[in-house]
């Protein structure tokens, strides 16, 4: 394919994409295929000779679309949003064409530099303290991580390295492996599984801090303090705590103002995982959820210039972005990186801060609308505070009846939800996800849910 054909095919692809997104709600949001469905639809080997583009494009509908879960359908309420937008797609096209690998400044200066400034823009939108910003003289600054799981891991590795150095400074003869074997990290029992996984990768002990429904699933300072003291008494070295702002099961919030000072006093690295909720902090009304970020013990950062110094991962709803103040070059697991900041640049400018705030507020309003519908129905209950775009709810009744309801919902393929466990209860998660979700989709979803709930309840033995 030469440039001339690319001009033609690229424009056809733009139309194909626009058609797909304009008509996405006509498609079943969740696919009706069995594992292994795709293999029989295509050859067992790559072709020897080139095929025509027409043949390839025809197969998108025949092979791919039947197996796609449509994350950008307004009827998609599962997991959390993976935001997408037209400006982001345009920027990504450009990023693909430039196709540089930004592993160093010289490898493509614009790639490193735009990212640094875009992370500053984001930091300012989030009203982060000044020392999180790179600026022209700053020691702060951030990088985009590919995923939230990588941000957690990189922070953990940085904390591990810092802890080893701190101990070696006062006890230079102690073997590093002896130190590592005594390290202990903490996270909430509500934390994402990638936190536990980070501990496994880094080869350190990771303890889960129990939380209670009565505390709104937030880690209690008293519990953290007690666990730290017990572990220290047992000869362990507490070194890392992963707080969560917006947990995956129920969007619960740890209180940084309470937990930060404990970590500072104990010289524990506090990492804040705000992979879902972080983007909302660009709205003044949600920014208080991030209060406590200023308790960061600044001198600790600046004396550990040979470690990673990640602090705050934030996934913005317009794309996966993770904010982290950084001092040196080893800020990520992979060495190579795409020119991802172009997406931020396009999106920030085409939406403007106000547009992004409106985007987030609309999702929160839609969640509140869904919450009202649930609350108005005596058969249902709300299982956790609705703070942002996630509503946790269930039928008053057994786990079994709720499992059956969810199965019916997903089998219908009109809307898609996933469950969570809260205090032993099987709970349905309704997350407002798509850019195009409107009030009518919410009401339609609720109509479907109540209709299926009625069916399920009628089938119950009296």
Q: Interaction with a copy of itself in 153-212: which residues (CB under 8 A)?
A: 153, 157, 160, 175, 177-178, 180-181, 193-194, 197, 201-203
* Least CB distance to a copy of itself at residue 136 (A): 7
Please give the Cα distance from 235 to 339 (Å, whole number). 45
Q: Which of residues 251-310 bind a copy of itself (CB under 8 A)?
A: none
* Least CB distance to a copy of itself at residue 77 (A): 14
Nearest to 284 by CA among 413, 83, 125: 125
Quick check: 36 binds a copy of itself (CB under 8 A)?
yes
Among 27, 165, 287, 330, binds a copy of itself (CB under 8 A): 330
Quick check: 129 binds a copy of itself (CB under 8 A)?
no
* Least CB distance to a copy of itself at residue 178 (A): 8
Quick check: 314 binds a copy of itself (CB under 8 A)?
no
Q: Which of residues 387-416 bind a copy of itself (CB under 8 A)?
A: none
**Cβ-based nearer residue to a copy of itself, 42 or 460:** 42
Cα separations in angstroms, 6 against 2, 53, 76: 6, 10, 33
Quick check: 137 binds a copy of itself (CB under 8 A)?
no
Q: Which residues pair with 416 in a beta bridge?
A: 76
Residues in the chain: 462
Name 302's Cβ contacts closer than 8 Å, sequence gap at least 6: 139, 327
Among 35, 235, 424, 461, binds a copy of itself (CB under 8 A): 35
* Least CB distance to a copy of itself at residue 10 (A): 3
Among 55, 230, 400, 455, binds a copy of itself (CB under 8 A): 55
Among 26, 39, 234, 299, binds a copy of itself (CB under 8 A): 39
Please give the Cα distance from 144 to 155 (Å, whole number). 13
Residue with tokens 């509503």: 391
Number of chain residues interacting with a copy of itself (CB under 8 A)? 120
Angle formed at CA 239 by CA 238 and CA 240, multiple of 5 degrees:
115
Quick check: 433 binds a copy of itself (CB under 8 A)?
no
**Cβ-based nearer residue to a copy of itself, 38 or 460:** 38
Phi, psi of 153 (to 5 degrees): -65, -45
**HSE-up of residue 100 (Cα within 13 Å, Cβ side):** 17
Query: Which pairs count as long-range contacts for 218-227, CB under 8 Å and 24+ apart, including other chains?
Result: 218/188, 218/252, 218/253, 218/254, 218/255, 219/188, 219/243, 219/254, 219/255, 219/259, 221/255, 221/258, 221/259, 221/262, 224/186, 224/259, 224/262, 225/262, 227/186
Part of the chain binding a copy of itself (CB under 8 A), chosen from 96-104, 424-432, 440-448, 454-462:
96-104
Quick check: 349 binds a copy of itself (CB under 8 A)?
yes
Quick check: 85 binds a copy of itself (CB under 8 A)?
yes
């Amino acid at each position: 394919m030469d440039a001339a054909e690319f001009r033609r095919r690229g424009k056809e692809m733009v139309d194909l994409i626009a058609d797909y997104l304009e008509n996405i709600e006509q498609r079943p949001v969740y696919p009706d295929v069995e594992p292994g469905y795709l293999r029989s639809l295509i050859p067992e080997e790559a072709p020897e000779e080139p095929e025509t583009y027409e043949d390839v494009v025809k197969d998108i509908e025949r092979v791919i679309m039947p197996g796609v879960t449509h994350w950008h359908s307004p009827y998609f309420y599962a997991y959390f949003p993976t935001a997408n937008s037209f400006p982001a797609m345009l920027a990504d096209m450009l990023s693909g064409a430039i196709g540089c690998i930004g592993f160093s400044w010289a490898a493509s200066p614009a790639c490193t530099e735009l990212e640094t400034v875009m992370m500053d823009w984001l930091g300012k939108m989030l009203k982060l303290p000044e020392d999180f910003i790179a600026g022209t003289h700053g020691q702060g600054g951030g990088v985009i991580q590919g995923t939230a799981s990588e941000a957690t891991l990189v922070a953990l590795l940085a904390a591990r390295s810092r802890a080893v150095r701190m101990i070696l400074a006062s006890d230079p003869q102690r073997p590093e492996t002896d130190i590592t074997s005594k390290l202990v990290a903490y996270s909430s029992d509500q934390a994402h599984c990638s936190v536990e996984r980070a501990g496994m990768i880094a080869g350190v002990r990771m303890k889960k801090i129990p939380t209670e429904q009565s505390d709104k699933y937030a880690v209690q300072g008293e519990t953290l303090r007690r666990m730290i003291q017990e572990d220290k008494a047992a000869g362990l070295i507490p070194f890392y705590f992963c707080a969560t702002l917006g947990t995956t099961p129920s969007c619960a919030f740890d209180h940084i103002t309470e937990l930060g000072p404990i970590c500072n006093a104990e010289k524990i690295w506090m990492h804040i995982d705000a992979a879902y909720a972080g983007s909302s902090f660009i709205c003044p009304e949600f920014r208080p959820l991030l209060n406590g970020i200023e308790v960061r013990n600044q001198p600790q950062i600046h004396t550990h210039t040979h470690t990673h110094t990640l602090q705050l991962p934030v996934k913005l709803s317009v794309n996966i972005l993770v904010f982290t103040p950084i001092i040196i070059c080893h800020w990520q697991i992979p060495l190579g990186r795409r020119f991802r900041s172009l997406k931020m640049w396009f999106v920030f400018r085409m939406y403007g801060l106000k547009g992004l705030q409106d985007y987030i507020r609309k999702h929160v309003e839609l969640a509140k609308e869904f919450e009202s519908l649930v609350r108005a129905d005596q058969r249902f209950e709300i299982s956790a505070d609705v703070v942002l775009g996630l509503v946790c709810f269930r039928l008053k009744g057994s786990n079994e009846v709720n499992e059956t309801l969810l199965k019916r919902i997903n089998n219908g393929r009109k809307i898609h939800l996933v469950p969570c466990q809260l205090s032993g209860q099987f709970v349905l998660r309704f997350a407002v996800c798509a850019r195009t979700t409107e009030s009518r989709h919410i009401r339609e979803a609720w109509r479907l849910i109540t209709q299926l709930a009625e069916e399920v309840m009628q089938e119950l033995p009296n």
